[in-house]
Amino acid sequence: MPRFDAQMVLDAISIGQPVEGQDLRGLDLSGLDLGAASLRGSDLRDANLTGTILQEAHLERVTIEGAILKDTDLAGAHVSEVTFKDIDLSTCKLHRITALKTTFIRTVLSNQDLKGANLSGSTLIHSTFRNLDLSDADLQSMKILFCLIERCKFDKANIKETDFGLSRIIECSFNNTDLSHTSFIASRINNTKAINSILNGADLTLLQGDNLDLTGSSYSGIITEKTIIKGLKKQ
């Protein structure tokens, strides 16, 4: 079978044919409407996805290193078990995305509406998240390590058993949020609210905090070994 080119990809998708496990390296797919396409397991390294519409597409286990993701529409897409590395996703449309067990390394993401997104089991390392609305998102069992998280909204999200180790959290809100058994080991948290939230069993070992509002929250079994918090509000 010949290697797919851009027209072959478009033709296959137009008749509902999956394009799975294919070598799509370096293809110029910019501006194409590939909505609801099934590209599972395909190799998209160095592909040009500028302005590509991938709404509701199945991108599980694709290889995407080096691809150009600018103004790419990934709304409602399924991108589980994918690695994003050294990339800025801020211009992409990502609302309603499902990214289970996905890895973000040195990734920048800002100014996004991610309400209700599902990122459970995913890993963020040395990444930057700014001005994100993750209200009602499922973020359970994530690893968010060595990250900068600034002005993000996590209200009513499920963040149980997530690890924020060695991350910096600034001006965020975790109101009415389940943070049970979440780890903040050696993290730094500033000007952040977790009002009416559940912090039972959370690990704050070596955490350094300033101006935290935990009004109305429960925190039985919390671990606070060598924790330093200035300006803590609990009532």
Domain identity same for 64 and 102: no
Burial string for 156-169 (b: 16+ CB within 10 Å, else e) reads bbbbbbbbbbbbbb
Q: Among residues 19, 53, 78, which one ends one of the domains? A: 78
C-alpha distance from residue 89 to each of 24, 107, 108, 191, 193 (Å): 21, 7, 6, 26, 27
Domain identity same for 142 and 57: no
**pTM across the whole model:** 0.94
Domain identity same for 72 and 103: no
d(CA 174, CA 158): 10
Q: How much of the chain is in helix, strand and coil states, percent to nearest 5?
A: 5, 35, 65
Q: What is the pLDDT of residues 50-73, one digit of tens each?
A: 999 999 999 999 999 999 999 999
Domain identity same for 130 and 234: yes
Domain span at residue 32 reads: 1-78
For the chain, percent of residues with pLDDT exceeding 90: 97
Domain identity same for 221 and 138: yes
Domain count, the chain: 2
- Long-range contacts formed by 87-96: CB under 8 A, 24+ apart: none
Q: Among residues 78, 94, 121, which one ends one of the domains? A: 78
Q: What is the pLDDT of residues 214-235, one digit of tens each?
A: 999 999 999 999 999 999 998 7
- On average, the pLDDT of the chain sits at 96
pLDDT for the residue numbered 1: 58
Helix (H) or strand (E) holding 229: strand 228-233
Q: Among residues 50, 78, 106, which one ends one of the domains? A: 78
